[in-house]
Amino acid sequence: MNGAVDTSRLEADDETTVGDVPRRRIIVASMVGTSIEFYDFYIYATAAVSVFPYLFFPEGNSSTALLASLATFGLAFVARPLGSILFGHFGDRVGRKATLVGSLLTMGIATFVIGLLPTYVHIGIAAPALLALMRFGQGLGLGGEWSGAALLATETAKKGKRAWAAMWPQLGAPIGFLLANGLFLIIAELMNHDKNSADLDSAFLTWGWRIPFLLSAVMVMVGLYVRLRLEETPVFARAVARGEKVKTPLAEVFKSSWRQLIIGTFVMLATYTLFYIMTTWALSYGTGKTSTPGDGGPSFQYTDFLVLQLIAVLFFAASIPVSGWLADRYGRRITLLVVSGTIMVFGLSFGVMLDQETIGTTRMLVFLAMGMVLTGMTFGPMSAVLPELFPTNVRYTGSGISYNTASILGAAVAPFIAAWLATTYGVGWVGVYLLVAAAISFVALLVMKETKNESLDEVGA
C-alpha cells in the first residue's frame, strides 16, 4: 500500500465477486466480526447486572454495588472514541483489512482475561481495578471494529445497494446479543442460579459466569480465519492510487469534516440511548433492582427476563434488513426521521407500559419487542449513513469518532441515568429521557443532507 497499487483490478467487481473475493465472504467477514465483538460486549453488560455487583463491588448496599458495576460498564464507552482514533489512523493509513484484525484481537484478549480475573474477596480493590482495565480494553477494540466492518461492507457494495450491504455488520449486534444472553441463560438454568437470591458459594457465581468470557477465544479464532482471507476494499485502493492518503487522518478529519462529525454523532444518539435502555437498564429494572421507590420493581426471575429479552431481540434482528431496504428505496434521511419521531412517541408510553401494579409477562414482552423493533429500524442504516458522510482518506477515523462519541453521550450514561430516574422519580421519566435523546437525533437528521446517491469516491471532493 505504499503507492504500488494494481489499478487494473480495481474495477473488476461484478455481481458475485469484488476483485478475487466472493461477495458472500465479505458478508460473512463483516458480520462475523461484529457478532464476536458485540458478543464480548454484551456478556459484560449482562454480568454487570447479574455477577459483578456481588463479586467485584461487594461493599455497601446492593443499589450502590449495582451503580458501581454499571459505572465500569460505561467505562468502555469512554475508551471507544480513543479506539476509533487509534484504529482509524491505521485504517486510513494502512488499510481496512489489517486494522480489522487488530481490533478483533484487542477486544478478544481483554474479554478472555476477564474470565480469568480473581474477585474482590481474593485481591481486594485490585479486582475492580483490573476489571475496569479490561473493560477499557474491550471499548478500545470495539471502537475500531464497527467502523472497519461498516467500511468493508459499504466500500464493496453494489451500486444502489449500500444500505442493504451495510446492514450485514449491523446484524452482528442482535446475533452477539443472542449468543451472549443465550449462553448466560443456559448456564444459569443448568446451575439453578437465581439472581434475586444469589448465593456467593453457588456454582454460577463461583465459576459458571466465567464460561462465556473464556469461550470468546474460540469465536475470535474463527473471526481471524475469515478476515485474514480478505483483500483491501476497492474504494480505499483507488484512493491510494490517486495519492489521497493523508499523514494524520485525525487532524484532517477535524479540519475538513468537523460538521459531519457533529451531525453523525447526534444522528446516532437516539440509537444508543434506546438500545441500552432496552437491554442493560431493562434487565436491572425488570428483575427489581432499579425501580420506583417503595415498589420493588416488577421482580421477574432473572432467567425468565432473559427469555423475554431473547425473544425481543429476534424482532431487533428482523427489523434491520427492513430498515436497510427502506434506506436504499426511499433514502436514509426520511427513513430515520420517521423512526426518530416514532421513538419519541414510544418514550411517552413508559409510564403506562411499565406500571408496576398492572404489568405482567405479556405487557413486558410487548414493551421489549416494540423497543427492539425501533432499535433495529434506527440502527440498520447507520453503517451506511456515517461512512457516507466522510471522504475515503478519513472515512475510518470520521465514522468511528462519530459512532463512538455518540456512545458516550448515549449508551455510556443511559443505564446509569435511567436507573437513577426510575429510583428517584419513577419509570415514566426514563421515557422522557429517551424522548429528549430522540428529539436531538431528529434535529440532527433535519440538518443532514441525503447521502443515498453519494459516490464514496467523490465525497468531500
What mean pLDDT is predicted for residues 260-265? 96
What domains can be seen in the chain, in order of their start residue?
A: 19-447 (1.20.1250.20)
What mean pLDDT is predicted for residues 282-297? 64
The contacts of residue 440 (CB under 8 Å, 6+ apart) are: 266, 269, 270
pLDDT of amino acid 389 = 94
Taking every pair of Cα atoms in the chain, the longest distance, rounded to a whole number of angstroms, is 71
What mean pLDDT is predicted for residues 72-97? 84
Tell me: pLDDT of 5 over 60.
no
**Three-state secondary structure along the chain?**
CCCCCCHHHCCCCCCCEECCEEHHHHHHHHHHHHHHHHHHHHHHHHHHHHCHHHHCCCCCCHHHHHHHHHHHHHHHHHHHHHHHHHHHHHHHHCCHHHHHHHHHHHHHHHHHHHCCCCCHHHHCCHHHHHHHHHHHHHHHHHHHHHHHHHHHHHCCCCCCCHHHHHHHHHCHHHHHHHHHHHHHHHHHHHCCCCHHHCCCCCHHHHHHCHHHHHHHHHHHHHHHHHHCCCCCCHHHHHHHHCCCCCCCHHHHHHHHCHHHHHHHHHHHHHHHHHHHHHHHHHHHHHCCCCCCCCCCCCCCCHHHHHHHHHHHHHHHHHHHHHHHHHHHHHCHHHHHHHHHHHHHHHHCCHHHHCCCCCCCHHHHHHHHHHHHHHHHHHHCCHHHHHHHCCCHHHHHHHHHHHHHHHHHHHHHCHHHHHHHHHHHCCCHHHHHHHHHHHHHHHHHHHHCCCCCCCCCCCCCC
Tell me: pLDDT of 346 over 70.
yes
For 414-433, the pLDDT digits (tens) are: 888 998 898 889 899 999 99
Q: What confidence tier does 14 reach under pLDDT thresholds 50, 70, 90?
A: low
For 31-51, the pLDDT digits (tens) are: 887 888 778 777 887 787 778
| Whole-number percent of the chain with pLDDT over 70 | 89
Q: What confidence tier does 196 reach under pLDDT thresholds 50, 70, 90?
A: low
pLDDT of amino acid 274 = 95
pLDDT of amino acid 10 = 42
For 108-153, the pLDDT digits (tens) are: 898 899 999 998 888 888 888 888 888 888 888 888 888 888 888 8
More confident: 159 or 15: 159
Tell me: pLDDT of 287 over 70.
yes
Tell me: pLDDT of 197 over 60.
no
pLDDT of amino acid 1 = 39
Q: What confidence tier does 439 reach under pLDDT thresholds 50, 70, 90?
A: very high
User: What are the cell numbers at 208?
Assistant: 459458571
Tell me: pLDDT of 291 over 70.
no
Greatest mean pLDDT among 48-62, 231-245, 363-377: 363-377
For 214-249, the pLDDT digits (tens) are: 988 888 888 888 888 777 788 888 888 888 888 899
pLDDT of amino acid 51 = 80
Q: What confidence tier does 158 reach under pLDDT thresholds 50, 70, 90?
A: confident
| Whole-number percent of the chain with pLDDT over 90 | 34
Task: Give the span between the Cα atoms of 150 and 175, in whole angstroms.
Answer: 16
What pTM was computed for the model?
0.83
